[in-house]
Chains A and B, each alone.
Chain A
Amino acid sequence: MSYTLRGRIESRLAALVLPLAACCALSAALHRWWPLELCGLMVAVGVALDLQLYHRLLRYQPGWVALPLGLLELGLMLALVHALGLEAPVVPALLLFAAAWAVAQGLGQAGFPVLRLSYATDGGELGRIGIVSGAAVIAMLASAGGYWWYRLPPVVHLSAGVHQGPLVIDRRERLVGDRGAVVRGGIVVRANGVTIKNVTVVGGENGIEIDDVADVVLDGVTVSGFELDGIHVRRTAVTIKNCEIDALGNTYAQGIDISYASDKRDSHVMGCTVVGGQEGIVTHFSNASLMDNRVSRTTLRGISMTEMSMGMVEGNEVRDATGVGILCNDHSMCMIEKNSVIGTKRVPGSEWTGGYGVLVAYSSEGELRDNALGANPRPYGAIVDSTLSSR
């Protein structure tokens, strides 16, 4: 087939009408944006390549070339998914792409030529069908974008200065702190879809408390001076990133505690710094990935996954913990990879505080890979019916 530029774009958009409709339906059914985000990327990547590359390079495109071009588009799409941080599950995303590609090939090789006799001679142009399909794709993407925009929570700016708390958020919103915005006495989240960004919290029983809600994001929060937990999460899947928690001097506090959320989606804690307290980051009965955090000077454990928790502990740096650096405990399953645990101190008298870099305990399963365990009295160990394996 020797496409004109218009023919390429019309054929592509017409072939994407069906997959895009499926993505809309899937997004609506799952209450997730990733199917639509993927379809949007498919459109963007495809049209960009049509404009910038394919039209210039391929004066004639034999049928088999669709395969390498499809792989190229898939590669670019996966790179963009990664770069944009989209949370699309890999297998369904690949299946979606493969299905869309197959539909496009079926239509390009068989459907369009049958529908429009002059399809090949017209260089892939589809006449009215092309215009209607293009409009349909734009309309679907615009509608989805509009809905996304409409669904965006209102942004509440917290001005610089000290605001007396506790601050209770009981509606969907984005709370964005201006530089120097401080809440004294803690924040309580009681609504779904809340984002808190760039806010400093001082004091409170818990610095930030989140209980039985959904879709909560904490980004760039700083918490200090609390009594129990810096960030206290119950029955909620959260995303916490780039936070700073100071529990120095509070021997019994916990930096971040995510508990009883095993029936929720995965929680994520990324790029946080926790200093002091009894435990830096701890999960109970939850699914979580704890990645690229820095935890130091805790008095019992640096990072803990316990009580039938399951997840990934990756790329964290744990320094100067007393007792244990990273603990996988009580029927939990932990993938512990590429962490650095240094300078753990031993407290004589108990195995639980025996100075392990990594300890797997009480019928738990730990899988270790590429960890740097240095200056710990015991680099790693497994106790009480637990297994420790390495890849």
Chain B
Amino acid sequence: MTRVAIVGGGLAGFSAYQTLRRGGLAASEIAVFDEEPDPAAAWARRAAAIGQTHMRSESDGHCLPASFPGLAVREARRRGSAAPVLRSLAGRYNPTVEEFLDHVDELRRRSGWDESVRRERVERIDVDPEFFSVGGVEAPHVLVATGHPGLNVPEELRADPRVVHAYEPHGYAREVTVIGAGLAAATEWVNALAAGAAVISVRRTEPVRRRLNVPREWFSRRALDGFHRTAPPERAAILRTLLAPSYPPGARWDEPLARAGARFRIEAELNGSEQVICATGFLRGFQHDPLLRALATEHDLETFNDWIVLDPDSSVPALTDERRTLALAGVAAQWAFPAADTLVGAKYAARGLLARIQCRTR
């Protein structure tokens, strides 16, 4: 019997799956819907495209349900050295992409993920008073973790043959214009300079420098309790501030730009570069996700600007009651958890779902 259907088998769905498994659900009780069985495939493609070598978050940025033992402990065990753990305690441990992907593979094998995955695309979720129908499966609880709805390329550039998105495979021309001011843009600056290109940074605003996109306190009830009490306009304003593009401070980012001298410059407008890289992230808003848009429209869900309004535990109030739960994970769940598009965010949504399931079981 399927108790939970997870729509979307990317890292958000995978992390949620691990949490549900830890919460006592068997692999056979969870159905994951995605055409791609490798949970890290999409993410790994994007990371490779921007040449990302290290994870931005530290050791708890992994898919295990508990923050301990994290990747630092894993690497320490593997290398027989305490250095990763000490670096993690000092907040200076950023695992490599390779380490992270290897861990995902290990978890995938260990957790029965492939047993739960159904390789199909979910176009719609049918709602019954007691359950949901997803891809021919009836389940009382559904977690929608469809991820980012698509790459964001400014409309005026969509037909421009010079344009490539940062998350698409690309090389570097002799002169490259990078649009954006977040981590992907910063990575492109550094990589293009390293490839010998001249780089022009075009940005609407000056980038914010912080270690994580969403500051740490927003990952905990310390800030979340207040966040959940805000009225929709205030909450939307907070989210816009928190989601402003940023990249970490540090010499790793600053030195290559300083060394480049005239090869790196900032301009306000797009110019005649040979290549234009849009490091402009993803499309924002549930409207860009056909599944969520259909749910919101058909069931008249409460929305505010780009967001579906959620309860603090990431569930959709109009489709959740004593018998069933429909919850969102990943970027679509920012209304409940500002850092929802992180692995911690996916686990947050899964724990919320788990609490509802366990509450009902008791």
Interface residues of A (CB under 8 A from B): 1-4, 7, 59-60, 62-64, 109-110, 113-114, 117-123, 125
B250 to chain A, nearest CB (A): 15
Across the interface, name the chain A residue whose C-beta is closest to B67: A113
Complex: how many Å from CA A1 to CA B220?
Answer: 8
Judge if B146 is at the interface, Cβ distance under 8 Å.
no
A–B Cβ pairs within 8 angstroms, 8 of them: A7-B221, A59-B216, A59-B217, A63-B91, A109-B68, A119-B67, A120-B60, A120-B67
Judge if B235 is at the interface, Cβ distance under 8 Å.
no
Q: Which residues of B contact A114 (CB under 8 A)?
A: 66, 68
Give the residue among A4, A114, A121, A122 with the most B Cβ atoms within 10 A. Answer: A121
Complex: how many Å from CA A38 to CA B221?
Answer: 32
The answer to whether B220 touches A120 (Cβ under 8 A) is yes
Judge if B19 is at the interface, Cβ distance under 8 Å.
yes
Complex: how many Å from CA A104 to CA B22?
Answer: 25
- The secondary-structure label for the interface of chain A is loop
**Known contacts A113-B67, A117-B65, then 4 further A-B pairs from the complex at CB < 8 Å, ordered by chain A residue:** A3-B220, A60-B216, A110-B69, A121-B344
Across the interface, name the chain A residue whose C-beta is closest to B60: A120
B83 to chain A, nearest CB (A): 14
B22 to chain A, nearest CB (A): 7
Q: Give a binary string over B210-223; 1 marks a CB under 8 Å from any A CB, 0 the rest.
A: 00000111011111
Across the interface, name the chain A residue whose C-beta is closest to B65: A117
The answer to whether B221 touches A125 (Cβ under 8 A) is yes
The answer to whether B90 touches A62 (Cβ under 8 A) is yes
B42 to chain A, nearest CB (A): 25
Q: Considering the complex of A and B, which 4 residue pairs feature the smallest CB-CB distances, nearest first?
A: A63-B89, A2-B220, A60-B216, A62-B91
The answer to whether B19 touches A117 (Cβ under 8 A) is yes
A212 to chain B, nearest CB (A): 55
Give the residue among A4, A110, A120 with the most B Cβ atoms within 10 A. Answer: A120
Q: Which residues of B contact A121 (CB under 8 A)?
A: 219-221, 224, 344, 348, 351
Q: Which residues of B contact A60 (CB under 8 A)?
A: 215-217
Q: Give a binary string over B297-333; 1 marks a CB under 8 Å from any A CB, 0 the rest.
A: 0000000000000000000000000000000000000
Complex: how many Å from CA A63 to CA B58?
Answer: 12
Judge if B108 is at the interface, Cβ distance under 8 Å.
no
Complex: how many Å from CA A52 to CA B67?
Answer: 28
Q: Which residues of B contact A62 (CB under 8 A)?
A: 89-91
The answer to whether B90 touches A64 (Cβ under 8 A) is yes
Q: Give a binary string over B68-105; 1 marks a CB under 8 Å from any A CB, 0 the rest.
A: 11000000000000000000111100000000000000
Q: Which residues of A contact B91 (CB under 8 A)?
A: 62-64
Judge if B347 is at the interface, Cβ distance under 8 Å.
yes
A17 to chain B, nearest CB (A): 19
Give the residue among B69, B220, B344 with the most A Cβ atoms within 10 A. Answer: B220
The answer to whether A122 touches B90 (Cβ under 8 A) is no
Cross-chain pair count, CB within 8 angstroms: 69
Q: Which residues of B contact A7 (CB under 8 A)?
A: 220-222
Complex: how many Å from CA A114 to CA B66?
Answer: 6
Complex: how many Å from CA A1 to CA B60?
Answer: 11
Q: Which residues of A contact B216 (CB under 8 A)?
A: 2, 59-60
Q: Which residues of A contact B65 (CB under 8 A)?
A: 117
Q: Which residues of A contact B347 (CB under 8 A)?
A: 117
Complex: how many Å from CA A125 to CA B69?
Answer: 19
Number of interface residues of B (CB under 8 A): 27
Q: Which residues of B contact A64 (CB under 8 A)?
A: 89-91
The answer to whether A117 touches B220 (Cβ under 8 A) is no
Q: Which residues of B contact A1 (CB under 8 A)?
A: 220
Complex: how many Å from CA A110 to CA B89?
Answer: 12
Complex: how many Å from CA A63 to CA B90?
Answer: 6
Contact of B220 among A109, A110, A113, A123 (CB under 8 A): A123
Given contacts A59-B217, A63-B91, contact A110 B22 (CB under 8 A): no
The answer to whether B66 touches A113 (Cβ under 8 A) is yes
Contact of A63 among B66, B88, B221, B344 (CB under 8 A): B88
The answer to whether B221 touches A117 (Cβ under 8 A) is no
Complex: how many Å from CA A1 to CA B219?
Answer: 9
Complex: how many Å from CA A2 to CA B221?
Answer: 8
Across the interface, name the chain A residue whose C-beta is closest to B355: A118
Given contacts A110-B69, A117-B66, contact A123 B90 (CB under 8 A): no
Q: Which residues of A contact B68 (CB under 8 A)?
A: 109-110, 113-114
Across the interface, name the chain A residue whose C-beta is closest to B90: A64
Q: Which residues of B contact A120 (CB under 8 A)?
A: 60, 67, 219-220, 344
B82 to chain A, nearest CB (A): 13
A14 to chain B, nearest CB (A): 16
The answer to whether A122 touches B220 (Cβ under 8 A) is yes
The answer to whether B89 touches A122 (Cβ under 8 A) is no
Q: Give a binary string over B187-226; 1 marks a CB under 8 Å from any A CB, 0 the rest.
A: 0000000000000000000000000000111011111110
The answer to whether A123 touches B221 (Cβ under 8 A) is yes
Contact of B222 among A2, A109, A110, A117 (CB under 8 A): A2
Across the interface, name the chain B residue whose C-beta is closest to A8: B222
Complex: how many Å from CA A64 to CA B93?
Answer: 12
The answer to whether A4 touches B88 (Cβ under 8 A) is no
Q: Which residues of A contact B90 (CB under 8 A)?
A: 62-64
The answer to whether B89 touches A2 (Cβ under 8 A) is no
B12 to chain A, nearest CB (A): 16
Given contacts A2-B217, A63-B90, contact A118 B351 (CB under 8 A): yes
A196 to chain B, nearest CB (A): 54
Q: Give a binary string over B47-60; 1 marks a CB under 8 Å from any A CB, 0 the rest.
A: 00000000000001
A108 to chain B, nearest CB (A): 10
Q: Give a binary string over B338-356; 1 marks a CB under 8 Å from any A CB, 0 the rest.
A: 0000001001100100000
Q: Which residues of A contact B19 (CB under 8 A)?
A: 117
Q: Which residues of A contact B351 (CB under 8 A)?
A: 117-118, 121
Complex: how many Å from CA A123 to CA B226?
Answer: 13
Contact of A4 among B89, B215, B222 (CB under 8 A): B222
B114 to chain A, nearest CB (A): 24
Complex: how many Å from CA A117 to CA B21?
Answer: 12
Across the interface, name the chain B residue whose C-beta is closest to A66: B89
Complex: how many Å from CA A114 to CA B67?
Answer: 7
Complex: how many Å from CA A125 to CA B19?
Answer: 19
A200 to chain B, nearest CB (A): 61
Q: Which residues of A contact B23 (CB under 8 A)?
A: 117
Complex: how many Å from CA A328 to CA B327?
Answer: 83
The answer to whether A123 touches B222 (Cβ under 8 A) is yes
Q: Which residues of A contact B67 (CB under 8 A)?
A: 113, 119-120
A282 to chain B, nearest CB (A): 57
B195 to chain A, nearest CB (A): 35
Q: Which residues of B contact A123 (CB under 8 A)?
A: 220-222
Q: Which residues of A contact B222 (CB under 8 A)?
A: 2-4, 7, 59, 123
A68 to chain B, nearest CB (A): 12
A132 to chain B, nearest CB (A): 19
